[in-house]
Amino acid sequence: MDNPFFMILFACTLVPSLKISVADDSMNVLNALSDGKTLVSKGGKFELGFFSPGGSHKRYLGIWYKNMPIQTVVWVANRANPINDSSGILTVNSTGNIVLIQNGSLVWYTNSLKQAKNPVVELLDSGNLVIRNEAETDPEEYLWQSFDHPSDTFLPGMKLGWDLRTGLERMLTAWKSPDDPSPGDVSRHVKLYSYPEIHIMKGTKTVFRFGPWNGLFYNGAPDLRNNTIFGFTFVSTKDEKYTIFSLTNSFAITRVVLNQSTTIYRYVWVEKDQNWGIYTSLPKDFCDTYGLCGAYGNCMPSETQVCQCLKGFSPKSPEAWVASGWSQGCVRNKPLSCKDKLTDGFVKLENLKVPDTKHTWLDENIGLKECKVKCLNCCSCVAYTNSDIRGGGSGCVMWFGDLIDMKQFETGGQYLYIRMPASELGHLYSHKNTARIVASTVAAICVVLLLSSYIICRIRRKNADKRKSEKENINLRTYDFSSISNATNRFSLNNKLGQGGFGPVYKGTLPDGQEIAVKRLSKTSKQGMDEFKTEVMLIAKLQHRNLVKLLGCSTQQDEKLLIYEFMPNRSLDYFIFNPTRCALLGWVKRFEIIDGIARGLLYLHQDSRLKIIHRDLKTSNVLLDNNMNPKISDFGMARIFELDKDELDTNKVVGTYGYIPPEYVVHGSFSVKSDIFSFGVIVLEIISGKKNRGFCDPHHSLNLLGHAWRLWIENRPMELVDDLVDNTVGPSEIIRYIHIGLLCVQQSPQDRPNISSILLMLNGEKLLPEPNQPGFYTGKDHSTIKDSSLRNIGVGSINEMSNSLLEAR
């Protein structure tokens, strides 16, 4: 009875199959919906039932517009699992879930985690299929809703984007074809960048970008301004980031559809024609092709040569540029001069689709003047503008790295201020020598004053931060030991999820129905109170969708308990090292997991207010949520770095065999590059489906890293690949990930890329250097190993080091 599928099917057998009339808009546990019967929303706008697309004999459960001459389906439940006859039955069980069965076999079901009391399924006039408690006082308090799980259609009132509290992503996925509702490889996502935006993607590649929301419209689609039919908005809070549209004309019928050709259409129902009319479609023209003109290239649809380098830039490859080979983009004619900020300025571009916002920084509380100063004082800032153009403009967004995917509009678009050396700005930035001298003198005086103020402020801030930290620790939610004991059934073995180095982890359920994971530190564990406080303090402060969320802790009855959000799909190693479960993670999902881990590391290393080294990154510490999105967990070994420090030494080396870099093992030196080494091991393990620790090449006595390196230098990298995984991506993509993994596990930490460079590599935006020999490689060629003390470390030797040197878990 512990199997959820068995429980759902068992509940189904208890439900009598009663007829539903076409007038009904809801059903409960006493009802069932068979093929041929439907639910109709109260106002008669939408209908739920079984249908067959085109001339197909396959049956799907879906929602379509009622009383239209053309059946227009807006949502499909069993997209990937059609029924082959008319024997499908839809029921709702006592746990508050919808279940679709065929001849006693489970076809599709919902997965509500909320407490159900007399659950009712209802089809709303918005086209939303919802499950709610019948006696619920709040009519919009749903146990589950189809709007959280869209198909290919975006309807008024539907949110597309992220619920950051639960990790739920609502995205569109195209039908494979007009007659096949199964998910294609084209999807529409809200990208959680600092300055969020919407991308249409084919597989893992962006094909079109809407541009960010600027307060009035999506910057890359100025034609979609609010009008007499519909209005858009974008909501961005700490809990949610999503786009939504509403009807300004209550009589209008409109929908947005994404298709497999990577085109997104806005349809409006034309009553006199009794047909759908296309209001607009995107991409609109050739210049909407993502990244067409490369870095610093501006696409101009009205020009014969559509790609033009920005002023002050020239084609990186003039020969290719003439032949319309624009992908290499443009480079600066003259470099920026960060040493003397007076020699840099900005050129203003108008009516522009602003660049890809992946590498941006956003501050909504300052204006354009402060934004300019901040950008000028940051050597890596290359452009800035307002984040909100309403009322003369407000907010500040700055770009770092190459500027990609710009387009010139005749009207609409936005201003962008691009950083340039003074020699490219003409007379506007020609300074007289006298002015230079005066400015330099004033600047020198200011530096002295600022330095004095800085020293005083830093002393005060350290004391304030210490007090604030103590306050934050006290304010973290604490739980009674008895309540956690009851939630885990007294830490029953049946509730045990796994065993970590510091103690077991249990699944629990709180009285309000919330599922939790409880880490119970063993009393004989080497994680003492200091490590416990470290983990509590770090995770309480860290908030990112690729980091596990700490809910609270308990220190009663001489126990140390950490209470986390529950990850239903356990850990990454549970899947990739199992010969059966590994097939559930296809290449696209594996690449997404690698990308998610990298984003979590970017937050730890660079984007959070602390600089944190995890020190125990491994597959068992990467947890997977409902949608198989990765979350880094277990911060008991983590260390906080001062922002101006890059490396620390320790006499106590901690971590896990197989993931620890050589410089840490031998010298006790750790840095952000230590986490990069661990990340590289994870990448190679994900690609190969094999553990680094315990793997041994039978012919060469190599560990997984050495085996991968040998295959690489022998030009046979695809032999590393897990052959149990689908073949939906090309070899070049897989080889790129192997290449990145080898770059991360190089012997010398200086050779390993930083995490921001890795993210560029993962997205195909950076040329990859050739890797050097990996750490702990035991082949014949040791020429690239820089530390002679490591040359004799063989496979398994690291496991034999004394416990006084290595306290691995």
Q: For 610-649, how does the pLDDT look when each residue is reduced to its tens digit (9 = 90+)?
A: 788 898 999 999 999 988 999 999 887 888 765 555 555 5
**Average pLDDT of 541-548?**
86
Between residues 619 and 228, which one has the greater pLDDT?
Answer: 619
Of the pLDDT bands very low, low, confident and very high (cuts 50, 70, 90), residue 532 is confident
d(CA 501, CA 267): 56
Q: Report the topology of domain 572-808.
A: Transferase(Phosphotransferase); domain 1 (1.10.510)
Averaged pLDDT for residues 330-354? 84
Any idea which architecture 1-149 has in CATH? Orthogonal Prism (2.90)
Q: Identify the three-state secondary structure at position 262.
A: coil
Mean of the pLDDT values across residues 489-517? 86
Average pLDDT estimate for 507-518: 91
Q: Are 107 and 81 in contact (CB under 8 A)?
A: yes
| Residue-range domain boundaries for the chain | 1-149, 162-284, 287-429, 431-470, 481-565, 572-808
Q: Identify which has the larger pLDDT, 516 or 286.
A: 516
Q: How far apart are the two ends of the chain, measured CA to CA in Å? A: 34
What pLDDT band is residue 797 in, cutting at 50, 70 and 90? very low
Statement: the pTM of the whole predicted model exceeds 0.95: no
Q: Which value, in Å, is the radius of gyration of the alpha carbons in the chain?
A: 29
Half-sphere exposure for 443 (CA within 13 Å, toward CB): 9
Q: In terms of pLDDT, which residue wins out, 359 or 802?
A: 359
Alpha carbons 377 and 790: distance in angstroms, whole number:
43
What is the model's pLDDT at position 438? 45
Which of 450-454, 564-568, 797-801 ranks highest by mean pLDDT? 564-568
Between the CA of residue 447 and those of 325, 437, 738, what are the distances in Å? 48, 15, 48
Range 324-328 average pLDDT? 88
Burial class (CB in 10 A: 0-12, 13-18, 19+), 206: buried
Among residues 152, 402, 616, 625, the one annotated as catalytic is 616
Per the DSSP assignment, residues forming a β-bridge with 419 are 346
pLDDT digits (tens, 9 = 90+) for 216-225: 999 999 878 8
Categorize the per-residue pLDDT at 785 as very low, low, confident or very high, splitting at 50, 70 and 90: very low
Architecture of domain 481-565: 2-Layer Sandwich (3.30)
Choose from 572-581, 591-600, 692-701, 727-736 the range with maximum mean pLDDT. Answer: 591-600
pLDDT tens digit string along 115-171?
A: 888 889 999 999 999 998 887 656 678 999 999 999 999 999 999 999 998 889 999
**pLDDT exceeds cutoff 70 at 451:** no
Q: Are the CB atoms for 746 and 771 separated by under 8 Å?
A: yes
Higher pLDDT, 476 or 792: 476
Percent of the chain past pLDDT 70, that is, above it, reads 81
- Is 28 in contact with 120 (CB distance < 8 Å)? yes
Per the document, the length of the chain is: 809
| DSSP codes, 189-201 | EEE-SSS-EEEEE
pLDDT at residue 340, as a whole number: 55
Q: Which of 1-5, 13-17, 570-574, 779-783 holds the top average pLDDT?
A: 570-574
The DSSP code for 218 is: B
Distance, in Å, from the CA atom of 255 to the CA atom of 389, rounded to the nearest integer, reads: 27
Q: Which of 351-355, 500-504, 679-683 has the lowest mean pLDDT?
A: 500-504
Using CA atoms, how far apart are residues 678 and 614, in angstroms rounded to an integer?
10
pLDDT value at position 580? 80
250-256 long-range Cβ contacts below 8 angstroms, 24+ apart: 253/65, 254/156, 254/229, 254/230, 254/279, 255/72, 255/74, 255/153, 255/154, 255/155, 256/153, 256/154, 256/155, 256/172
Share of the chain above pLDDT 90, in %: 49
pLDDT surpasses 90 at 598: yes
Q: Which of 329-343, 378-392, 441-455 has the lowest mean pLDDT?
A: 441-455
Told to judge if 180 belongs to the known catalytic residues of this protein, a careful annotator would answer no
**pLDDT value of residue 781:** 41
Q: Give yes or no on whether 1-149 and 572-808 have one common fold.
A: no
Over the stretch 349-392, which tens digit does the pLDDT of each residue have? 999 999 999 999 999 999 999 999 999 888 889 999 999 999 88
d(CA 750, CA 669): 13
The pLDDT of residue 550 is: 87
Task: Report the mean per-residue pLDDT for the chain.
Answer: 82
The answer on pLDDT for 12 being more than 60 is: no
- CA atoms of 390 and 647, how far apart (whole Å): 45
C-alpha span between 385 and 372 (Å, rounded): 8
Confidence check: pLDDT of 5 > 70: no
Average pLDDT over residues 502-531: 80
